[in-house]
Amino acid sequence: MQVRDYNRNNWFKNRRSLFRLLINALLLISLALSLLTLLQQLFTDSLTGSYFYPLTLSLLVIQYFVHRIHLSWGGAVAFLTMGAGSISLALVSDDIALAYLSGALLPVLLRFVLAQKWVLLFIPIWLSLLLFIHSYRVQEELISELYTHLITLSYSLLVYGSVAVLFNRIYSLVFYKECKENSDLTSEFIDNYQIHQHFDWLKNKNPDGVVRVYGVYIKNILDSVGKSSESSIEFKESVTQFNQLLREVCPAGASIGRLDNGVYVLMSERRFWDAFERGLRQLKKEATDLSPIVVSTDTPNDSTDLDSALHNLDTVFVRATKEKTDFARFNLKDRDHLNGQTDIQSYEVSQAFANHEIQMFFQPKVDIKDNNRLVGAEALVRWIHPEKGLLTPKDFVDLLESSPYRLTFINSVVEQSAHFCETMKQSGLPISVSFNLSANDLQDLRVTYELSQVQEKYGFSAGELQIELSEQETDVSLDNLKRSLDAVKELGYSIALDDFGTGMSSLAYFQNLPADTIKLDRAFIKDIHLNPSSEHLTKMVVYLSKAEGLTVVAEGVENASEADRLLKLGVDQVQGFLFGKPMPATEFLQYYGLELVEDDV
Ligand code: C2E
Ligand code: MG
Ligand code: MG
């Protein structure tokens, strides 16, 4: 069997391919002879040659084991018909041994096709049935009619099955040829269906049932899927070379799969993990031009079935790309990511904007030094999804930001925040309203333009609108960031450094960017009254901010003990569930006992 051959040499590989070729040739000959026999039997009523049916069946079984591939529907039908044909003919010629053989082969075969052990239970059922028929066979007259029907049925199935097999062969030959020319040689490897078959086979044959699934991702190939006819000859050649290399570095006999989206999939039981990993490391060393990213996940440890394992691989791949690593294994970070994920499709985004499902909620900010007076609000986006309910930014902001609706989204955030600020002013309780923008957003001149338009439209005085800039990882240089912040400050926006202390560049941001406010992340606020190190850090930030004349806001305050401690430490403003959750504009006004004044802006 293939897996046993992993560490053998090329000589063995060649012998094995010869063996495969031989089996294929024998199978084709036997299939042809079976068809001839069938024709002969139809016209001459002779039973000569009926031994070809069980022979074909056996060869199909052998081929199945050698290639360990799935049989297409035509192949499966052929199996059944060859089986049924050989059984009935064996009975007609009164050869019970042959009938037994064929009868036993069928469930064995089905067990592997279906990868379900219970199918084997059919062996005794089959054999008893055959015995039963045979015992009646002796009293020929009684069941001769039943027999005739059985044989007629077998014949028709046999014809149907054979035609189906031939059709499948011709179809795959013609179709795969075309695929091969147009696509990047996908057909060289086992396909999605066969990958599933192989997985089931490995899982069942292993004593511990653990299968490691590897994914090999190549960015150029992933990008080229679906437009392969446009790919250059050089690209096709480099893919062909890569395929060759992949085969060489993998343990001999490994089944290599290729999904429709261009991802290579390999699977291994525990004892071959080292061999696979050595090979894949070598692959990365040698295929530098295509820079493959190799990721892996284990079943049943990380996921119970193959589909979830493949989904895991995609998650690890996205993380590996972000972390700029090219060999990664599924870990707890990936599990957290998957747990927190809501499956949003991009087509839903367009609907969302059309139906005004994307709305800003507002969370109060209060001055703790002035009796918790309301001084501001942060605009936080929510998606009121018709089926999935209220979605928070982690479920969809990344998707929005990478969609064609990115600018529509940002403009809507700015406009809704400005509108709310104006509404509060009109209602007699003017406050400052902040909204979140990323460093990349601020580099986009279209965003800066929108900021200037909004400012012109409402004519706010300086600081009434505030931009919260998060410390998330960014490619934007500090210099560029500073320039764009200077520009928006010119327009009248104030700047808050959001999630302060969580990123890598807090102090550099603090020193170089024209910030007005520091927002301490909830990570330092949670249980601050019980955690001396959070307290020291807050004290330090308050000290630095005061020295520079900045306002300090603490985020995520949930209880009075935290608020008391923050007041003692000199924090200016607080925001958190203790003072109000993020809420829609109308609810916010009600919360503060305000009437909505219709305005003409
Ligand atoms: P952020 O700007 O730091 O927002 C504060 C987050 O803390 C909000 O989560 C808020 O609901 C949550 N929060 C507030 N008070 C408490 C509390 O007492 N306890 C706890 N556990 N959480 C509290 P949310 O709304 O899920 O937003 C998460 C992040 O998504 C925001 O962090 C912000 O970075 C981003 N975000 C929100 N709205 C927008 C937006 O319009 N545009 C962009 N680009 N990002 C946004
Ligand atoms: Mg924020
Ligand atoms: Mg924050």
Q: Parse the chain into domains and list their residue ranges.
A: 6-181, 192-339, 354-591
The residue nearest atom 30 of ligand 1, judged by CA position, is 393
Regarding the beta carbon of 377 and ligand 1, being less than 6 Å apart is answered no
CB atoms within 10 A of CB 207: 7
pLDDT score, position 335: 75
In this structure, is the dihedral angle defined by the CA atoms of residues 527, 533, 537 and 538, taken in order, positive or negative?
Answer: positive
* Rounded Cα gap, residues 203 and 463, in angstroms: 63
pLDDT score, position 504: 72
Residue 358 Cα to ligand 3 middle (Å): 20
Distances (CA, A) of 523 to 115, 279, 397: 50, 43, 21
Residue type for position 71: L
Secondary structure letter of residue 402 according to DSSP: T
Beta strands at 293-299 and 465-470: parallel, antiparallel or unpaired: unpaired
Regarding the beta carbon of 334 and ligand 1, being less than 6 Å apart is answered no
pLDDT score, position 185: 41
CB atoms within 10 A of CB 566: 26
Regarding the beta carbon of 520 and ligand 1, being less than 6 Å apart is answered no
Regarding the beta carbon of 416 and ligand 1, being less than 6 Å apart is answered no
Residue 498 Cα to ligand 3 middle (Å): 5
Topology classification of domain 192-339: Alpha-Beta Plaits (3.30.70)
* Rounded Cα gap, residues 283 and 249, in angstroms: 6
Residue 86 Cα to ligand 3 middle (Å): 74
Closest atom of ligand 1 to 470 CA is 34
Please identify which residue in the block is written with the tokens 């490995």: 202
CB atoms within 10 A of CB 262: 22
Regarding the beta carbon of 410 and ligand 1, being less than 6 Å apart is answered no
Residue 565 Cα to ligand 3 middle (Å): 19
Counting ligands in written order, the one closest to the CA of 556 is 1
* Rounded Cα gap, residues 246 and 232, in angstroms: 21
The residue nearest atom 45 of ligand 1, judged by CA position, is 436
Distances (CA, A) of 359 to 172, 414, 417, 467, 584: 52, 11, 10, 18, 8
Residue 535 Cα to ligand 1 middle (Å): 22
* Rounded Cα gap, residues 272 and 230, in angstroms: 38
Distances (CA, A) of 272 to 210, 257, 293: 12, 17, 20
Measure the CA angle with vertex 111, ends 305 and 52; round to 5°: 140
Residue 542 Cα to ligand 3 middle (Å): 17
pLDDT score, position 8: 36
Q: Nearest to residue 554, comparing CAs of 569, 544, 536, 532?
A: 569
Evaluate whether 272 touches 6 at the Cβ level (below 8 Å): yes
Distances (CA, A) of 546 to 157, 396, 493, 570: 88, 37, 21, 9
Q: Which of 502, 555, 562 gets mutated to test ligand 1 (max ligand atoms within 8 A of its CB)?
A: 555
Regarding the beta carbon of 471 and ligand 1, being less than 6 Å apart is answered no
Please identify which residue in the block is written with the tokens 């904007």: 353
Contacts of residue 223, Cβ cutoff 8 Å, sequence gap at least 6: none
Q: Which of 436, 498, 557 gets mutated to test ligand 1 (max ligand atoms within 8 A of its CB)?
A: 436
Dihedrals phi, psi of 252, to nearest 5 degrees: -55, 135
pLDDT score, position 270: 86
Binned average pLDDT, 10 residues per bin, the chain of 601 residues: 34 56 76 71 60 68 55 55 61 57 59 52 62 60 55 54 55 46 52 82 80 88 58 74 87 80 87 89 84 90 86 86 83 70 63 88 97 97 88 84 83 96 94 95 91 95 94 80 95 95 82 95 92 94 95 96 96 97 95 74 43
Regarding the beta carbon of 556 and ligand 1, being less than 6 Å apart is answered yes
Q: What CATH number matches the domain at 354-591, 2.60.40.1930, 3.40.50.300, 3.50.50.60, 3.20.20.450?
A: 3.20.20.450
Closest atom of ligand 1 to 361 CA is 25
The two tokens of residue 253 are: 């006999």
Regarding the beta carbon of 12 and ligand 1, being less than 6 Å apart is answered no
Counting ligands in written order, the one closest to the CA of 434 is 2
* Rounded Cα gap, residues 157 and 22, in angstroms: 27
Evaluate whether 318 touches 295 at the Cβ level (below 8 Å): no
* Rounded Cα gap, residues 64 and 48, in angstroms: 27
The residue nearest atom 11 of ligand 1, judged by CA position, is 582
Distances (CA, A) of 18 to 12, 15, 22, 74: 10, 5, 6, 25
pLDDT score, position 560: 95
Regarding the beta carbon of 398 and ligand 1, being less than 6 Å apart is answered no
pLDDT score, position 372: 95
The residue nearest atom 20 of ligand 1, judged by CA position, is 556
Regarding the beta carbon of 432 and ligand 1, being less than 6 Å apart is answered no
pLDDT score, position 176: 45
pLDDT score, position 321: 81
Contacts of residue 378, Cβ cutoff 8 Å, sequence gap at least 6: 362, 363, 365, 433, 434, 435, 436, 468, 575, 582
Evaluate whether 58 touches 27 at the Cβ level (below 8 Å): no
Distances (CA, A) of 231 to 220, 235, 258, 260: 10, 6, 18, 16
DSSP string, 80-146: HHHHHHHHHHHHHTT-HHHHHHHHHHHHHHHHHHHT-GGGGGHHHHHHHHHHHHHHHHHSHHHHHHH
pLDDT score, position 87: 61
pLDDT score, position 581: 95
**Does residue 287 sit in helix, strand or coil?**
coil
The residue nearest atom 12 of ligand 1, judged by CA position, is 556
pLDDT score, position 311: 85
Q: Which of 362, 380, 391, 577 gets mutated to test ligand 1 (max ligand atoms within 8 A of its CB)?
A: 380
Evaluate whether 361 touches 582 at the Cβ level (below 8 Å): yes
Contacts of residue 472, Cβ cutoff 8 Å, sequence gap at least 6: 438, 439, 499, 503
Regarding the beta carbon of 439 and ligand 1, being less than 6 Å apart is answered no
* Rounded Cα gap, residues 110 and 77, in angstroms: 11
Counting ligands in written order, the one closest to the CA of 502 is 3
CB neighbour burial string for 172-197, b if at least 16 within 10 angstroms, e if fewer: eeeeeeeeeeebbbbebbbbeebbbb
pLDDT score, position 136: 59
Dihedrals phi, psi of 574, to nearest 5 degrees: -135, 155
Residue 392 Cα to ligand 2 middle (Å): 13
